[in-house]
Structure 1
Amino acid sequence: MSPQPSRIDNIEFSVADIARSKAFYGQLFGWTFTDYSPSYTEFTDGRLKGGLCTGEEVRTGGPLVILYCEDLAQMQCAVEAAGGEICKPVFAFPGGRRFHFLDPDGYELAIWSDR
């Protein structure tokens, strides 16, 4: 299934211990996992994919919601025009590039592209 622009595409949990989180979510919900590095594993519940990652501050307020777009530069301009604040400039990761922003209430979201 290919990503669709402007829809939630991924949810990422910053965790303290990936193995512990995999055991918890695997047992609780039956999620399956694909490890990409010692600090990142992808999970799937059969419909939605997401990630468990270490190396970032654990966000006790909730997971990071990630949306897909084809043109990061255009979307970054749209975020700023709508009143969002870029809190993590565009960076590369295995599979693409993304940036993070804060909405007017301070919620952090991310937008990624495989282009």
Structure 2
Amino acid sequence: MHQHHKINYIEMPSKDLNKSKAFFSTVFGWAFTDYGPEYCAFSDEGIDGGFYLADLSISSQTGAPLIVLYSSNLEASLAAVLAEGGSIIKPIFSFPGGRRFQFSDPNGSEFAVWSE
């Protein structure tokens, strides 16, 4: 159900949609629907969204919002990110409320994963 004035959808750039789909499908179990050669969407992943084809990437260093995913097994998620071609930007560290790491996907976009 859509909620008035709540974040409803997020769109992110991808230099290679096939790489994005393969990475997020394998590492996080996401499923995608293609809408032509320049857009793919995901749903039921905490928030719905999509990737659009662009020669851009997202990074907190350039002021982009940091998209943070949840994991019940942080170490296994980190291993899966590395196994599928991601790179670690910040290794696992503690913060008030939990632990997290930050990584870039194979297209160079930055994300984070946290756990209690």
TM-score by length of 1: 0.48
More strand by share: 1
TM-score by length of 2: 0.48
